[in-house]
Structure 1
Amino acid sequence: MEKGKVLIVDDQNGIRILLMEVFNSEGYTTYQAANGKTAIEIVQKESPDLVLLDMKIPGMDGLEILKHLKEINPAIKVIMMTAYGELDMIKEATKLGALMHFTKPFDIDEMRVAVNMHLQDKSVDHFG
């Protein structure tokens, strides 16, 4: 059964690889992007259900990316990943429609649980 598609947007390769491994093993289809341009292309082409989006990305920052993603697909679920102390940006992201945020270094299990929680309603629909 298709569990859903997760896009990981982070300029740090190590974080992308780690998160992809976690969500692949959970049965999700995963995509990765190192920058906003790639993230937007993937959302247009693959329509992921949920995006894990880093706030601090060189070039187009997380807030800009979030705006673009919500324009493409207002229903897309976005969880922000932030560095410590980016409170203003977090408030702004919430206004723009981000579901929640994790501060780095985050607990990978908490993130796994959060993603499963936000995407499980999708699998419930199949039985209705």
Structure 2
Amino acid sequence: MDKKKVLIVDDQNGIRVLLMEVFSSEGYLTYQASNGKLALEIVRNETPDIVLLDMKIPGMDGLEILKQIKEMKPDLNVIMMTAYGELDMIKEASDLGALMHFTKPFDIDEMRVAVNMTLERSSGSSVSISS
């Protein structure tokens, strides 16, 4: 069985390292990107099963990255990570197709459970439509 792939996109190294450790220990293949350009390359080349995406990334913000991810892979699961108070952006992210968001500092166990549940749901429906 193929390992599920988790892509972590955050400009803060500490958060990327923490999330990579958590999801590697859950048995997922983890990828990390500190900026939008790299994140989109990984989405294109590795086709992750889920993306944990920070809203505030220098250069290309989370919403722009989300738009481009959804253009490439409309069905890709994306969970947003936001700083407190970015409610307008959260609404826009939902409109663009983000599954849910976590406000920093988030509970790492809640994040883990959300990712596990999302990936279990998406592996349950193994219908793939290739364009």
The answer on whether the counterparts of 1:3 and 1:123 sit within 8 Å (CA) in structure 2 is no
The answer on whether the counterparts of 1:55 and 1:61 sit within 8 Å (CA) in structure 2 is yes
Report deviation, 1:55: 0.2
State the match for 2:81 in structure 1.
Answer: 81
The one-letter code sitting in structure 2 at the alignment partner of 1:21 is E
Q: CA RMSD in A?
A: 1.1
Q: What is the CA–CA distance in structure 2 between the aligned matches of 1:25 and 1:40, rounded to whole Å?
A: 24
State the match for 1:60 in structure 2.
Answer: 60
1:26-105 pair list within 5 angstroms: 26-105=26-105
The answer on whether the counterparts of 1:9 and 1:52 sit within 8 Å (CA) in structure 2 is yes
Report deviation, 1:125: 5.2
CA gap 1:122/1:94 in 2 versus in 1, 3 angstroms:
closer
Q: What is the CA–CA distance in structure 2 between the aligned matches of 1:102 and 1:2, rounded to whole Å?
A: 27
Give TM-score, length-normalised by structure 2.
0.93
State the match for 2:118 in structure 1.
Answer: 118
State the match for 1:107 in structure 2.
Answer: 107
Question: How many residues end up aligned between the 2 structures?
Answer: 126
The one-letter code sitting in structure 2 at the alignment partner of 1:24 is S
Identity %: 78
The answer on whether the counterparts of 1:10 and 1:57 sit within 8 Å (CA) in structure 2 is yes
- Partner-residue secondary structure (3-state), 2:60: coil
The one-letter code sitting in structure 2 at the alignment partner of 1:55 is M
Report deviation, 1:47: 0.3
The answer on whether the counterparts of 1:2 and 1:28 sit within 8 Å (CA) in structure 2 is no
- The runs of at least 4 consecutive aligned structure 1 residues that moved more than 6 Å come to none
Report deviation, 1:63: 0.1
Q: What is the CA–CA distance in structure 2 between the aligned matches of 1:21 and 1:121, rounded to whole Å?
A: 23
Give TM-score, length-normalised by structure 1.
0.95
Q: What is the CA–CA distance in structure 2 between the aligned matches of 1:28 and 1:81, rounded to whole Å?
A: 19
